[in-house]
Each structure stands twice: as structure tokens, then as C-alpha cells.
Amino acid sequence: MQTPAAVRRAVPLPGRLAAPEPGWTTRADVVVIGSGIAGLTAALRLREHVGKVLVVTKDVLSAGSTQWAQGGIAAALGEGDTPEEHEVDTLVAGAGACDLDAVRVLVGEGPEAVRELIALGARFDVDASGLLALTREGGHHRDRIAHAGGDATGAEIQRALVAAVELAADIEVVQHALAVDLLLAGDGGVAGVTLHVMGEGERDGIGAVHCRAVVLASGGLGQVFSQTTNPGVATGDGMALALRAGATLRDLEFVQFHPTVMYLGPDSRGQQPLISEAVRGEGAFLVDGPPEAGGRRLMQGVHPLADLAPRDVVAKAITRRMHETGRPHLWLDARHLGAPGDGEEYWRRRFPTILATARRHGVDPVTELLPVAPACHYASGGVRTDLWGRSDVPGLYATGEVACSGVHGANRLASNSLLEGLVFSRRIATVLPGELRPWSEPAPDPRAPGLVAGSARRELQELMTDRVGVLRSAEGLAAAGAALADLAGRPAELVDLASWETTNLVTVATALAGAAARREETRGSHWREDHPERDDGRMAGHFDVTLVGGVPSIDFHPAPATDGDLVR
Ligand code: SIN
């Protein structure tokens, strides 16, 4: 198949964020942007091999997405399980768009990486004989999800990593700091990064960190949509910064909507409570009404794995039934979990976070149905990297949700995300010390500065939810593209955090909507009502977005489908 020529759309995105000149400077060999599993794993490993490592985080160290992960971390750790079986499940979930080599790295190195995390101090749940307790989630044909604190896996991993970083005197941490833009050397490679520190410690306001490499581990873009499981910090900053610096964004159209997010009412916005897929892994099922009033199980007959079908299949089935019935949500029936009469104790032990959250919102899952609807959960695409985390910009590496290593394809397999951050950060720490760039001065920056009004954020989120959400069409995507161009041209009155974040949101939303418009098929988490079938003939491959003079350029790169003869 021919590679279609790049499509250029006249969307005037800022070439860099407008910001005051740096008022302070410092130096570090490597700057790690982000402090979840990916960022802290990279920092802890790099400190053994490079001079100074500086970790920048937008809030406090523990505030990112890792902290919120419930279900767990997938790896072939159980008796009889193999990386090959994990590979098959990953490829099938990814709907032909995974990179086979990257998946093999993930599943092959995953078990050892998890064991190292345990050795570092992360305490996972064990069974009566002291072995790791493993559960199942959507798309997995084996129990292979390790979990901690019942449903508080991310919080436990974050605790262990933060404790290790706090003991590492040679890692400097800058909290409450937005990474604004990369400083680039004359060869286009990394020379540093500008930060905006929000009023704490010795440094305040805009400053410059001169460095020899940057590891981006800043998480996803969930705040592009009105409802998401992502925390408020997930505003696509890393992807936007990388795009402005010359990196390529790949597979951005593949945004995963988690099927079971607690429905809190039509006006609820921002981060919403996740009801882990592990609840279905333990036996809960979706219903389209209370069974005692004639409600039926949704997933029986839809997929051989029923409620544990891959996430995109379940999210689509829920959305279809919501459209058919006109209801804003369906329900999860988990009232039968635990031994008869022992539900309360079971929920307290296995899903303490979800139990407390649901009750706080007035629903008792021990005795009541949980109202659920899909919401934005995970960006399967991101900054395109090779198998060692290298982006197209010399000295810029990416890992975790901000990256597109190729492991997720069109739909991430449940609980592969923590694993990806762990595995690829270890890889970056293996190669980066040997390829550190010489210190270089930032070159004069030719990129045109700009800033979008912070007040445009809500409008952007509603537009993206309506037009670029679970169900997409050519018409809706064209309307979204035009509206985004308008938003991009709405100038900021203030140079502040709201405007920087909104500019980043508009930037990644424009790239996402552009790639979604080009992908004229339904594959994985990308669902086009006007192209309801998967089309390997025309669409097997990847859409890559770059920014050329502030204008997004979208190029198609064909690649054979990687699920080959595997059962779909
Ligand atoms: C969940 O617990 O359902 C989320 C796990 C994941 O996103 O991989």
C-alpha cells in the first residue's frame, strides 16, 4: 500500500509556549519529567550511572496516575503461565496495531521487572501459601494480575518508589513544577528544559535547567475529555512539549475508554471513580437493568470471554445499549461476591478503595447495583519511541503513558500499563548513560510562541467528548477539527498555568482528532460509525503526527497487522 502524502491543515498551534524569560538556571545531567512508576523507576536506575538526576513533577511526588491504578500489574508470574501466552493476549487486545518486538520485550522482561519492584519494597497481596495472589482482567486468558492492598496497587507501588527516592540523596526533586518547553541545541537535540515552579522553595517562576538528556514520563492526556479516570494533572503536557520540540506522536487516535467508571450524574466533570476490571475478574457482571426487574446480562453472547472481553469490546457493548435505551449508564452487579453472607468482609479485604468510594457517593456495592458508564482512561499512543525509549529528538526519551513504544496497539490490554512504565524505564536506564550528549548551549529558538486562553478548557473537553469520544464519524471529526482551530486562535489574556495547560490540551486534541479523522475504520478503541469494520487492506499501520512550523502534519506508515492468525 502506498503511503499517502502528509496532510497539512492550517491550524496555527504555538511552536512553543509563551512564557517569561528564565529567572533562574541550574544544571543536571538528566532531567526526568514525571514521578509515577515510569519516572521514578528511571530516576532510581539512572542515578547509579549518571552524575546528577533531577526529577520534576507537576504536583507532589505521588499525585500522578500511578497512584490511582487499582487492578494491578500484569506479568507471567503464575504457575503454568508463559510470556508467550501474555504476548498473544496483548496482541489480540491491540487489534493488529501492536509492535511485535515491543510486545516481546514487555512480556519477556516483565516478570523480572516485577520481581525487582518487590525487592525494592512494593508489597503485593499473597495467597494462603505465601505466593503472589493473581487475578484476571479483561482480555487475559490466565490469572496474571498481581495486586496490592486489594485494589490499591498503584498506591502501594507509588509508596515504595517514593520511599526509595526519598532515601536517594543524589536525586533532586522539584515539586509543583510544570515542564514548559525543551531548550534545543543547534543540532536540534536536547540542551535543557524550562520549568515553571509554582511558588515553593528557593526557585520560583520560570527557570531553565541545562541538561544532557530528558526522560519524559509525564503521563497521559485524560483531561482532554470531560470525564476521565485520570487525575487533574493529566493535561497532555509531555506529548505537547515533545511535539513542539520535533518529536513524533504515534497512534494518538487510540484512546481507551474504561467500561466501568462510576456514573455520578450528567453534570459530573473531571476525574471520576474507577470500578476496576478486577471486580469483573472476580465474578461481577454488567446488566442493563436490575435483574429482579427483568434486566439482562449484557455481555453473554457478545464475546466468548463475556464480561472479561477486551476493554474496547465491553465499552462498545455498553455504549450501544446506552444508545438503544437512552439511559446515561448501565449497572455492574457485584452483590454476589464473597461467600454467602460474607460480602462486607470480602469487599473490605479485596476492594477496599472501591467500597469506600462507592459508599461515599451513596451506593453500597455489597447490596446495590453500581451505576457505570465508559469514560476516558488511557492514551495507548504518545511520543513514538524505539525499543530503548528513544524519541526522534536526540537526547529525549519517553516512557510510560506519554510514550508510544508500540506495546498497546489499538487497545491496551488491562494492567499492561504499569508494566510498560517499569520495563521501558529500565531499558532507558540501560542505554542512556552510554549515549549522554555533550553539554550544549541552547540555540536561539525560532519557534513562534503562543498561548491559548485558559478559559477555553471546558469548551474543549465538551467538544472532544461529543465529537472525538467513544463513537466517532467523519462529520463529527471535521466539526471538531474546525472548532479546535477556533480554540487554538483564542489568545490568552494571562500567562499562567491554566493557559499553558489549555494550550497543551488544544495541541494534543488537535493531533488526536486529526489522526482519528484519517483512520477510516473501526479498530480497537477507535470506533467509527461511518466505517464500522476493521480494514486491514487500507488501514493496517500507524498515523504519525509531527508539527511543521506550528502546523500538524499527519503521515500514514503501513505495517502488517500483528494479530495475524490469532483468534479475534
Ligand atoms: C482497572 O483496574 O480496571 C484498570 C486497570 C488498567 O487500566 O489496566
| Other Cβ atoms closer than 10 A to 188 | 14
Measured CA to CA, the distance from residue 555 to residue 546 in angstroms comes to 8
Q: Which residues contact 303 (CB under 8 A, 6 or more apart)?
A: 309, 313
Half-sphere exposure of 185 (CA within 13 A, CB side): 18
Grid coordinates of 128: 494462603
3-state secondary structure of 389: coil
Cα→Cα distances 531→6, 128, 310, 522, 542, Å: 22, 50, 20, 6, 17
| Other Cβ atoms closer than 10 A to 270 | 14
209 C-alpha vs ligand 1 centroid, how far in Å? 35
Q: Which residues contact 228 (CB under 8 A, 6 or more apart)?
A: 222, 234, 270, 271, 272, 375, 376, 377
- Is the CB–ligand 1 distance for residue 66 below 6 Å? no
413 C-alpha vs ligand 1 centroid, how far in Å? 9
pTM score of the predicted model: 0.95
Q: Which residues contact 344 (CB under 8 A, 6 or more apart)?
A: 338, 366
Nearest CA to ligand 1 atom 1: 276
415 C-alpha vs ligand 1 centroid, how far in Å? 5
Q: Which residues contact 47 (CB under 8 A, 6 or more apart)?
A: 53, 168, 170, 171
Cα→Cα distances 109→104, 143, 380, Å: 8, 18, 20
515 contacts 543 by C-beta, under 8 angstroms: yes
Q: Which residues contact 310 (CB under 8 A, 6 or more apart)?
A: 92, 93, 138, 139, 411, 413
- Amino acid symbol at 253: E
- Amino acid symbol at 464: M
- Is the CB–ligand 1 distance for residue 277 below 6 Å? yes
- Is the CB–ligand 1 distance for residue 525 below 6 Å? no
Classify 31 in phi/psi space as left (phi over 0), alpha (psi -120 to 50) or beta.
Answer: beta
Grid coordinates of 484: 479546535
- Is the CB–ligand 1 distance for residue 411 below 6 Å? no
448 C-alpha vs ligand 1 centroid, how far in Å? 39
- Phi and psi torsions of 335, nearest 5°: -75, -20
Catalytic residues: 311
User: Which of 37, 125, 258, 408 gets mutated to test ligand 1 (max ligand atoms within 8 A of its CB)?
Assistant: 258
Residue by residue, DSSP assigns 293-347 as: GT--BSSTTT-TTGGGS-HHHHHHHHHHHHHHHT-S-EEEE-TT-SSTT-HHHHH
Q: Burial level of 294, CB count in 10 A (0-12/13-18/19+)?
A: exposed
558 contacts 540 by C-beta, under 8 angstroms: yes
**Residue in the structure block whose three cell numbers are 491559548:** 452
Residue by residue, DSSP assigns 393-432 as: STTEEE-GGGEE-SSSTTSPPTT-HHHHHHHHHHHHHHHG
Atom nearest to 74 CA in ligand 1: 8
Nearest CA to ligand 1 atom 8: 415
3-state secondary structure of 366: coil
Alpha carbon 470 to its chain centroid, in Å, reads 16
Using alpha carbons, select from 410, 352, 332 the residue that is nearest to residue 378: 410
Grid coordinates of 31: 532531567
407 C-alpha vs ligand 1 centroid, how far in Å? 16
- Is the CB–ligand 1 distance for residue 400 below 6 Å? no
What does the pLDDT read at residue 10? 56
- Is the CB–ligand 1 distance for residue 278 below 6 Å? yes
3-state secondary structure of 466: helix
Q: Where are the alpha helices (DSSP H) in 179-310?
A: 237-245, 277-281
Taking the CA atoms of the chain, what radius of gyration do you get in angstroms?
22
Atom nearest to 415 CA in ligand 1: 8
Kind of pairing between the strands at 145-146 and 73-74:
antiparallel
516 C-alpha vs ligand 1 centroid, how far in Å? 24
What does the pLDDT read at residue 202? 67
User: Which of 86, 136, 277, 351 gets mutated to test ligand 1 (max ligand atoms within 8 A of its CB)?
Assistant: 277
- Is the CB–ligand 1 distance for residue 71 below 6 Å? yes
Using alpha carbons, select from 76, 164, 77 the residue that is nearest to residue 120: 164
Half-sphere exposure of 94 (CA within 13 A, CB side): 32
187 C-alpha vs ligand 1 centroid, how far in Å? 41
3-state secondary structure of 240: helix
Classified by CATH at the fold level, domain 258-376 comes out as Flavocytochrome C3; Chain A, domain 1 (3.90.700)
User: Which of 106, 311, 377 gets mutated to test ligand 1 (max ligand atoms within 8 A of its CB)?
Assistant: 377
Measured CA to CA, the distance from residue 366 to residue 335 in angstroms comes to 5
- Is the CB–ligand 1 distance for residue 256 below 6 Å? no
135 C-alpha vs ligand 1 centroid, how far in Å? 12
Measured CA to CA, the distance from residue 190 to residue 419 in angstroms comes to 27
Atom nearest to 418 CA in ligand 1: 8
What does the pLDDT read at residue 12? 82
What does the pLDDT read at residue 566? 78
- Is the CB–ligand 1 distance for residue 276 below 6 Å? yes
224 C-alpha vs ligand 1 centroid, how far in Å? 19
Measured CA to CA, the distance from residue 536 to residue 533 in angstroms comes to 9
- Is the CB–ligand 1 distance for residue 415 below 6 Å? yes
Strand order of the β-sheet with 205-210 is 25-27, 205-210, 190-197, 177-184
Atom nearest to 151 CA in ligand 1: 2
Grid coordinates of 209: 535547567
- Amino acid symbol at 533: E
Q: What angle do CA 470, 473, 478 make, to 5 degrees?
A: 115
3-state secondary structure of 533: coil
DSSP one-letter code for 274: B
What does the pLDDT read at residue 340? 85
pLDDT tens across the length of the chain (568 residues) = 333 433 434 558 999 999 999 999 999 999 999 999 999 999 999 999 999 999 999 999 988 899 999 989 999 999 999 999 999 999 999 999 999 999 999 999 999 999 999 999 999 999 999 999 999 999 999 999 999 999 999 999 999 999 999 999 999 999 999 999 999 999 999 999 999 998 755 678 999 999 999 999 999 999 999 999 999 999 999 999 999 999 999 999 999 999 999 999 999 999 999 999 999 999 999 999 999 999 999 999 999 999 999 888 999 999 999 999 999 999 999 999 988 888 999 999 999 999 999 999 999 999 999 999 999 999 999 999 999 999 999 999 999 999 999 999 999 999 999 999 999 999 999 999 999 999 999 999 999 999 999 999 999 999 999 999 999 999 999 999 999 999 999 999 999 999 999 999 999 999 999 999 999 999 999 999 999 999 999 999 999 999 998 999 999 999 999 998 775 4
- Is the CB–ligand 1 distance for residue 81 below 6 Å? no
277 C-alpha vs ligand 1 centroid, how far in Å? 6
Measured CA to CA, the distance from residue 458 to residue 547 in angstroms comes to 25
What does the pLDDT read at residue 161? 98
Atom nearest to 413 CA in ligand 1: 8
